[in-house]
Amino acid sequence: MKFRRGDKVQIITGHYKGTIGDIIAVSPKTNKIKVEGVNLVKKHTKPSPNDPDGGIYEMEAFIDASNAMHYDAKIKAPSRIRMSINKKGEKVRVYAKSGAEVK
C-alpha cells in the first residue's frame, strides 16, 4: 500500500467523488484508509463515566484504498506515485505526472 498517514488524496469514485482530504488512518491488512471529512457515519454512545451525557457523534469511517488517488497540488490533479532515488541516494516517493516529491 502506497498511502501513508498525512498524505493528501482525492476520492475518485462513490458518494464523495472529487473530495480532497488528508489521510488520518491507514489499515494495510484490510487495504482501507480513513480520510478527513469523507464517509461520515453517526456513532450513538450511551452515557458513561467518561461521557456522562452520551449522544450522537459524527466520525469518519474507513473506505477502500482503491477509491482514492494521491493529489498533486502542483498540477491540481490526482496522480499515481512511484519510487525514485534522489540526489542524496535515498528512496523517495514522487508523483508520476509532475515528478515532484510527495511531502
Q: How far apart are CA 9 and CA 80, in angstroms?
A: 11
Compute the average pLDDT of residues 81-99. Answer: 95
Grid cell, residue 27, equals 489499515
In angstroms, the CA 27 to CA 64 distance is: 10
At 26, is the pLDDT very low, low, confident or very high (cuts 50, 70, 90)? very high
Quick check: 1 pLDDT over 90? Answer: no
Is residue 103 very low, low, confident or very high in pLDDT (cuts 50, 70, 90)?
confident
Q: What percent of the chain has pLDDT over 70?
A: 100
Q: Residue 4 phi/psi, 5° resolution?
A: -135, 155
Q: What is the pLDDT of residues 7-17, one digit of tens each?
A: 999 999 999 99
